[in-house]
A and B are shown apart, each in its own frame.
Chain A
């Protein structure tokens, strides 16, 4: 309705309701100010070693859970740094690697079996329209080509429905400060959904590297540290989110009994 006509017809009612309108406007402003505080994304990490034995071939299962964010969907992670305890090391019998381009083009079958490091799964979410859309994705980790003599890891992420997509994440293993031995630094590209809709976010991520009893001779695995510090093996993570915020998470894996 055009404004002059509206004023002609509604003036008495509108002036009667002015205080209610002011209160409503105040509530709207207050809600608007309160909203960002609820939108903070948080993360928790859960590492576990199997078998829980010192100086042994083992599998490390690393779980990251994200929470919070607008509409209950965490802000997408753009960078993660995962810190591992001193002494935890990769056992790589054959230096066989798989490049990210290979993985993108041919999938996991395009990589040498001896470059396999582990596997896992993740849950990815995006808020589109009024709904939160979720997708389960499978992950396969491979040893990538060394960068500046440092080991790298390529993770093939593959989801089928509702969107049939694949992407490759690349991480670099770097030396870290005590009580940590090495850190895995990963840049996570945006996960596009649909034009005009927000990128997807990782809600949970579980990756198992190595195996206590490798299925094949010469398979890559993990070696647990020869000793355990008081309080357990320290793990830590730092995350940078797409909204510009940062977060950290700490956890210990208990020492073997």
Chain B
């Protein structure tokens, strides 16, 4: 073997070893806190979730490719009275393209980009809307927007499914690679906060020629609470092939 080829081979082996080691070491962590507000059995509520990602390698967390959320058994999403938003209109016009009564939640957080070995923070916002049902299953559209330093907007679709016990509803959402700036890494998520539903959302609707105030129930707390609290699960898949599962619980309401 010629010396030049040998050096290249050694370099390739070294790089491969590093890749293997990196995959083995790369571990994303996620701290999640979820709560119902108000936390009353059988009552319309607001579900709020905060999450913080980190990487044990000290670098950026790997970009997210897929999120699956499992909600506690008994949680209802009562969309009666709410409108629906078409994904194409949301992509074309942004949130102004959606009926006001299709809005189901808000959120935001900070993303991370690596450019020239510098970590750049990118605030982003989230707007959630009810989408048209697919085969009888709810769909929630998530409008993600960031302005600075990289401007991007994208629409994600969270599709409802029936989750196995002890869960009830589940939502699965695929996240495409989010390119930001030329030569920069795809966007990673450092933190996120989400808030769905509310106890007092109301809209006017014309019923038999009369304007009527209609209350949307939205997210409803289960009628009973298991001894260990309401179980929630989130599974997050990352671009580096790793998967993370977290099992936060929401304590039972105080009597």
Chain A: residues with Cβ within 8 Å of the partner, total of 33
Q: Flag whether B161 is at the interface (Cβ < 8 A).
A: no
What are the interface flags for A11-53 relative to B under an 8 Å C-beta threshold, 1 for contact and 0 otherwise? 0011001101110110110010000000000000000000000
Residues on B with beta carbons closer than 8 Å to the beta carbon of A8 = 15, 18-19
When distances are taken between beta carbons in the complex, the residues of chain B under 8 Å from A14 are 116-117, 183
Residues B143 and A164 in contact, CB atoms below 8 Å apart: no
Asked if A5 contacts B46 (CB within 8 A), the reply is no
A27 in contact with B127 given A128-B106, A130-B94, A161-B202 (CB within 8 Å):
no
Q: How far is the CA of A131 from the CA of B102 in the complex (A)?
A: 14
Residue B50, interface by CB 8 Å: yes
- Nearest Cβ on chain A to B94's Cβ, whole angstroms: 7
Q: How far is the CA of A130 from the CA of B183 in the complex (A)?
A: 27
B145 at the interface (CB under 8 A from A): yes
CB of A1 closer than 8 Å to a CB of B? yes
Is the CB–CB distance between A130 and B145 below 8 Å?
yes
Chain B residues with Cβ under 8 A from A18's Cβ?
116-117
**A3-B59, A20-B116, A21-B115 given; A194·B50 CB < 8 A:** no
B106–A197 contact, CB under 8 A? yes
B195 within 8 A of A: yes
The answer on a CB contact under 8 Å between B48 and A160 is no
Q: Is A4 in the interface zone, CB < 8 Å from B?
A: yes
Contact with A along B87-106 (1 / 0, CB 8 A): 00000001100001001011
Contacts of B95 in A (CB 8 A): 129-131
Q: Which 7 A-B pairs have the closest CB atoms?
A: A21-B116, A3-B59, A2-B22, A129-B106, A129-B127, A2-B26, A164-B202
